[in-house]
A and B are shown apart, each in its own frame.
Chain A
């Protein structure tokens, strides 16, 4: 029965492709759509919509364009120039790789809901500003799409809990864009720690970029083609200025978590991975920060956040002028790792050979490819939703401690502060209507 139905779907798609006159159109078969049944054979492609096509979205999209199991069929951005640029990139890529040298098979949207409503779509890549990650990812999961979502996965702890539960409940695959998990150096560093090669882990030092400041900016006219209200989406309303929007959103609490979340989502994620606590969290958080004295951007410029974990390990996240690394200090050695290097003490640790009885971590060498493998095999990718939620949470907890200016105790199982209802209120933020997660 299944085979017959698959043939039926293939025929349907061939007809569909034939409708695209004059276009070189690869055989594109959505896996769970079209109102028919069947699953993609290995020769078929998974269809993807890219939501958020600024710098990061274009980067992700280019990587997926090179994946021979993926066909990008939709791009979406609230900023028209962004989505038109993305559309052009897709068309040029497929045209360059088509015998006819032409391609017209990608649609551009300004509203992500139209993308998610497409039944011929299997996957979405979400690379919007942070405040949109969770609402779009949740809507995508409910629409039956598998999701590649940029980090940090969420804006609040509550969003993360809801999204992770939803992804589990719906059986979707979600990969967070924590691509350091697909970097051999970071994996090796974590395996060295997990297998006790530096003795008992005592301290993890994480260095991140410093924050930034700007002035008070008067309201500006919203640029033509920019759907500003949708850009704000669930976030509180504020007058338009370019200092608020593209790229700059990361420095503002309404949309993001500053550098502690922007880079912390990478490096604190690695710290969690190495400790085997990537589905848990710290038990105590405290720190100090230097805040902007005035201006639109309201995240710490300089900061030091200290996390204590139940295993006795202390993780210290500080800003640094140039260093972006994670250093694990144990009783018998150290491992320092970044995107440029891995350094060990003693040096010989870098050439460690692991035996079959030792802890080996999930091996992924291509983050985007690992997502597709997970989609096909219906298994967890290397950075699944729960891990992304916990890695984002530790950033949010740091920011809450800095904002409240006091030490906080955290229950990672209940995901609530310990006897601290005032702090608990910072775990969620109400959305503007009508958005919800």
Chain B
């Protein structure tokens, strides 16, 4: 043990023992950790010490594992020597470690152990011979396989396979002999399967006779290996032999073989797949159809197109998917060439569908020609395909088809595709010209279809045309025009005005309803106008909605406007029993959206909705929201923000006392922005300045107005990250040049509120990291202040 003095083993022992003091664990734990450490840091110098520990039953396993990881030759003789004396599981561990070290010097002792009476040790030793896998190990394993005890034979066989696997690169002949021996034996299917894979791996194409024979093997594992070999073995597949073998297989196996062939990088299975696609057995046919999608070529096109046209269900889906996926640069051109009159219309239809699915832009001329075909089915498919590929040249033939076809379905598809093309060009408004031209002389049915295209274009000319058509003598055309206007791509004031007026005063109820729905949609689209104007638009629409069923879409649209005005408007319908549910839903949606910025209004509206008879799940949601709002209301959430402000040479600590423009009443214009609180935040009452404006080493200002019904004493409870200074009615009432995260109410300042509006200004400094603040106003004894409200501006 003298050799150990000063070694890392001792050091590790000491450190670990100290760490473990009092834990009450037995010594082996310490040794275990030491062994782990030395396995990655130990050197030849540590070997003698570890060798000594191998004799200690309590420490032998930890020492053995450390030796396993120590590079160089020194550890192997120590382990070999220990193999002579270690018992049971310990010996198994030594056998394992000798294998992991892959040192050929261990082969003799492993051979001895593999032939011993302890089957656990013998199995481990055999496995280690497989891991070392030099020639002597291979020969020893071959010998052992013949005489191994039944309990060990499986391990020896596995080791033979591992050994052969390792020898494939440097001694393929020897590896092949091992595989051949295991393949020919009457052994477990799993062993023969592995041997077959080994033979295929070493023999390449020469192994196909064996592989084909294995396809007929009754053992599932062998058959499975044969499938893999079919899939992965490189080199030319003997096609005639493969076909012969294939024919002899039962249908279930045929399908699997077709699938395996289709996964080869060559096309060896194309013929078999094509034949399988025609099989009477559904599963085989399905496999064949799917396989062609991977290995088919131009010769497969017609087969797949016909199958797509004639089959149904899963088979049709497979045929279509394969047609759409056929690989190679020549496929699209070959498909286009087949779009000739002599090809059956149903097959042509499938080819057109597939060309669109294949994104075959080169097919556009042929598809345009398809819109002029005599067969309505082909016209329909060509029209759809043009909508998918959307070539600019497709617009004219589609418009011509809209004008010419008597078929409603074809006309509808053509119009839809034309809209896709118009909407996809760089300047859609300019693309409206040919549509407007076509509109000039179109019959009513075509006129209706053409009107449906114009919203995709937008623009003044198109809108004027739609407005004109709204007055068309044909009622169907007039309604189509109102629909088109309601589908307008942006919240156009003229379109909205027309629709609102129609909704208000048109004598025809259908047109009124269509116009109302369109107006609701346009009012809800994003726009630059003030939100109050949008609320006004909804107020008007609600006023012209004469029946409950007309009110409902208006309330639904209103529910998407996050504004207290919208909330008030929705609330006004809460007492109307015919639309109470819709009004409640709108109130709930708006209240959720504005809860952080307008908690009092949201709470009041929800309270009113609940009292009005809100029921079911909305009522549950409202109750939960109300509970959250009651907490939120205690805090000031109506803020405007200015900043960030920085000054050269001013340190973070000096920021609080450095005056920036918001502190100076005479300063030039300060840009204040409304703070939109994060409604999804867990603490929506806190202003997260990092998100609102962001920045480091700077300061920001927050301002609000507090309305007090009486002159009274109060207390500001303030949280800030970092420093904070507070002005009330122009006087500093609190300052704390802190560096800290926000903690609500961490600072408290006694203040006096005047009756009426009291301006409040907060300055919050920022070093780095988080940045924010919160303010709650309470009475001096910690209660809510009755009648207090906060606004960004005095009302």
Which A residues contact B (CB, under 8 angstroms)? Answer: 1-3, 5-6, 31-32, 37-42, 142-144, 165-166, 168-171, 216, 218-219, 236-239, 254, 353-357, 360, 376-379, 421, 425-426, 428-436
Asked if B23 contacts A237 (CB within 8 A), the reply is: no
Name the residue on A nearest B99 (C-beta).
Answer: A436
Residues B189 and A432 in contact, CB atoms below 8 Å apart: no
Contact B89 A434 (CB under 8 A): yes
Q: Select A237's contact among B29, B69, B188, B197, beta carbons within 8 Å.
A: B29
Collect the chain A residues with CB atoms within 8 Å of residue B33's CB: 236
Considering only residues 228-285 of chain B, those with a C-beta below 8 Å from chain A are 228, 231, 250, 252-253, 256, 259-260, 263, 283
CB 8 Å contact bits of B670-700 with A (1 = contact, 0 = none): 0000000000000000000000000000000
* Interface membership of B39, Cβ < 8 A: yes
Known A3-B250, A219-B25, A238-B29; judge A377-B259 contact (CB<8 A): yes
Task: Report B324-354 CB contacts with A as 1/0, cut-off 8 Å.
Answer: 1111010100000000000000000000000
Residue B61 is within 8 A (CB to CB) of chain A in the complex: yes
Instruction: Assess the A434–B161 pair: CB atoms within 8 A.
Output: no
A271 to B68, CA, bound (A): 35
Q: Is the CB of A237 within 8 A of B100?
A: no
Contact among B35, B62, B93, B331 for A356, CB-based, below 8 A: B331
For B359, what are the chain A residues with a Cβ–Cβ distance below 8 Å? 353-355
Which of chain B's residues have a CB closer than 8 A to the CB of A166?
162
Interface residues of B in 183-209 (CB under 8 A from A): 188-190, 193-194, 196-198
Contact of A142 among B40, B90, B154, B227 (CB under 8 A): B154
Rounded to whole Å, the gap between the CB of B319 and the closest CB of chain A is 15
Bound-complex Cα distance A216 to B23 (A): 9
**C-alpha spacing A356/B252, complex, angstroms:** 29
- CA distance in complex: A104, B417 (Å): 60
A254 CB contacts on chain B under 8 angstroms: 36
Contact, CB under 8 Å: B358 / A433: no
- Chain A CB within 10 Å — which of B35, B90, B99, B223 has the most? B223
Given contacts A219-B23, A357-B327, contact A379 B227 (CB under 8 A): yes
- Per the bound structure, the CA–CA distance linking A144 and B253 in Å amounts to 20
Please classify the interface of chain A as helix (H, G, I), strand (E, B), loop, or mixed, using the class held by over half of its residues. Answer: loop
Asked if B475 is at the interface of the complex by the 8 Å CB criterion, the answer is no
The listed residue (A377, A430, A433) touching B39 by CB distance below 8 A is A430
| Chain A residue contacts of B218, Cβ below 8 A | 1-2, 5-6, 37-39
Apart from the given pairs A143-B190, A356-B331, A379-B231, 11 other A-B contacts in the complex at a CB distance below 8 Å: A42-B252, A142-B154, A170-B197, A236-B32, A239-B23, A378-B223, A378-B225, A379-B263, A425-B40, A431-B93, A433-B89
Query: B93 near A218 (CB under 8 angstroms)?
Result: no
Q: Which residues of A contact B39 (CB under 8 A)?
A: 425, 429-430
Does B71 lie at the interface of the complex (its beta carbon under 8 Å from any beta carbon of A)? yes
A37-B219, A169-B197, A428-B100 given as contacts; is B127 within 8 A of A436 (CB)? yes
Least CB distance, A206 to chain B, in whole angstroms = 24
**A32 partner, pick from B29, B36, B93, B219, beta carbons under 8 A:** B219
A263 to B161, CA, bound (A): 35
Given the interface contacts A142-B158, A171-B197, A171-B221, does A239 sit within 8 Å of B29 by beta carbon? yes
Are the C-beta atoms of B23 and A2 separated by less than 8 Å? no
Contact A144 B90 (CB under 8 A): no
Does B220 lie at the interface of the complex (its beta carbon under 8 Å from any beta carbon of A)? yes
Min CB distance B721 to A, Å, is 17
What are 22 contact pairs spanning A and B, CB under 8 A? A2-B250, A37-B218, A38-B220, A39-B220, A142-B158, A144-B189, A218-B22, A376-B256, A377-B227, A378-B224, A378-B227, A379-B263, A421-B71, A430-B66, A430-B69, A431-B65, A432-B61, A434-B96, A434-B120, A434-B124, A436-B96, A436-B124
Taking residues whose C-beta sits less than 8 angstroms from the other chain, chain B's interface range is 35 or more
A39-B220, A377-B256 are contacts. A356–B358 as well, Cβ < 8 Å? yes
* From A1, A169, A356, residue with most partner B Cβ within 10 Å: A356
Evaluate whether A41 and B252 lie within 8 angstroms (CB atoms) in the complex, with A428-B69, A430-B65 already known: yes
Which residues of B are found within 8 Å of A168, using beta-carbon distances?
197
**Which chain A residue lies CB-closest to B323?**
A356
- Given A430-B65, A433-B96, A171 and B23 contact (CB-CB distance below 8 Å): no
A239 touches B40 (CB 8 A): no
Q: Which residue of A lies closest to B166 (CB)?
A: A165
Which chain A residue lies CB-closest to B86?
A433
- Of B94, B96, B161, most buried by chain A (CB within 10 Å of CB) is B96
Q: Return A144 CB to nearest CB of chain B, in Å.
A: 3
Q: Is residue B28 contacting chain A, with contact meaning CB distance below 8 A? A: yes
CB contacts (< 8 Å) of B231 on chain A: these are: 379
- Let me know if B194 and A170 touch, CB within 8 A: yes
Q: Give, as a whole number of angstroms, the nearest-CB distance from A274 to chain B.
A: 21
Docked CA distance A302–B224 (Å): 46
Q: Are A433 and B92 in contact (CB under 8 A)?
A: yes
Cβ-closest chain B residue relative to A238: B29
Least CB distance, B546 to chain A, in whole angstroms: 40
Across the interface, do A171 and B71 meet the contact criterion of CB distance under 8 Å? no
Q: Contact check: which of A165, A353, A433 meets B90 at CB < 8 Å?
A: A433
CA gap between A426 and B69 in the complex, in Å = 9
Assembly CA distance A3 to B251 (angstroms): 12
Q: Are A430 and B92 within 8 A (Cβ)?
A: no
The 8 A-B residue pairs with the shortest CB-CB distance, nearest first, are A433-B93, A144-B190, A430-B65, A434-B92, A378-B224, A37-B218, A39-B220, A239-B25
Whether B23 lies near A218 (C-beta < 8 A) is yes
Smallest Cβ-Cβ distance to B66: which chain A residue: A430
Inter-chain CA distance A356–B62, complex, in Å, is 58
| Nearest Cβ on chain B to A241's Cβ, whole angstroms | 9
B168–chain A nearest beta-carbon distance, Å: 10
Nearest residue, chain A, Cβ from B359: A355
Contact with A along B1-39 (1 / 0, CB 8 A): 000000000000000000000111110110011011001
The CA-CA distance from A376 to B220 in the complex, in Å, is 10
Taking a contact as CB atoms closer than 8 A, the residue among B62, B71, B358 that contacts A425 in the complex is B71
A30 to chain B: closest residue by CB: B220
B695 to chain A, nearest CB (A): 21
Give the docked Cα–Cα distance between A33 and B75 (Å).
43
- Shortest distance from the beta carbon of B766 to any chain A beta carbon, whole Å: 21
Q: B61 contacts which chain A residues (CB < 8 A)?
A: 432-433
Nearest CB in chain B: distance from A258 CB, A: 17
Residues of B within 8 A of A435 (CB): 96
Considering the complex, give the chain B residue whose CB is closest to the CB of A41.
Answer: B252
B162 touches A239 (CB 8 A): no
Residues 58-88 of chain B: 1 if any A CB is under 8 Å from the residue's CB, otherwise 0? 0001101110110100000000000000000
CB contacts (< 8 Å) of A432 on chain B: these are: 61, 65, 93
Shortest CB-to-CB span from A289 to chain B, Å, is: 18
Chain B residues lying within 8 Å of A31, measured Cβ to Cβ, are: 220
Instruction: Give B329's nearest chain A residue, CB to CB.
Output: A357
Q: Write out the residue numbers on chain A whose beta carbons fall within 8 Å of the beta carbon of B581.
A: none
Complex interface: chain B residues within 8 A of A431 (CB): 65, 93, 96
Q: Which B residue's beta carbon lies closest to that of A40?
A: B220
User: Which residues of A have CB within 8 Å of B360?
Assistant: 355
Query: B97 near A: Cβ within 8 Å?
Result: yes
Task: List the A side residues contacting B29 at CB < 8 Å.
Answer: 237-239
Q: How far is the CA of A32 from the CA of B96 in the complex (A)?
A: 30
From A3, A39, A421, A434, contact of B93 by CB (8 A): A434
**For A41, what are the chain B residues with a Cβ–Cβ distance below 8 Å?**
252
The interface residues of chain A lying within 8 Å CB-to-CB of B196 are 171
Contact, CB under 8 Å: A355 / B358 = yes
Docked Cα-Cα span, A38 to B96, in Å, equals 36
Residues of B within 8 A of A5 (CB): 218
Is B634 an interface residue, CB under 8 A from the partner?
Answer: no
Report Cα–Cα, A317/B317, bound state, in Å: 41
The minimal Cβ–Cβ distance linking B169 to chain A, given in whole angstroms, is: 12
B595 → chain A, closest Cβ, in Å? 22
Selected contact of B224 from candidates A171, A237, A354, CB within 8 Å = A171
Among B66, B193, B218, B256, the one with the most A-chain Cβ atoms within 10 Å of its Cβ is B218
**Is B652 close to A, CB under 8 A?**
no
Question: Whole-angstrom distance from the CB of A35 to the nearest CB of chain B?
Answer: 9
Q: Determine how close the nearest CB of chain A comes to the CB of B145; give it in whole angstroms.
A: 15
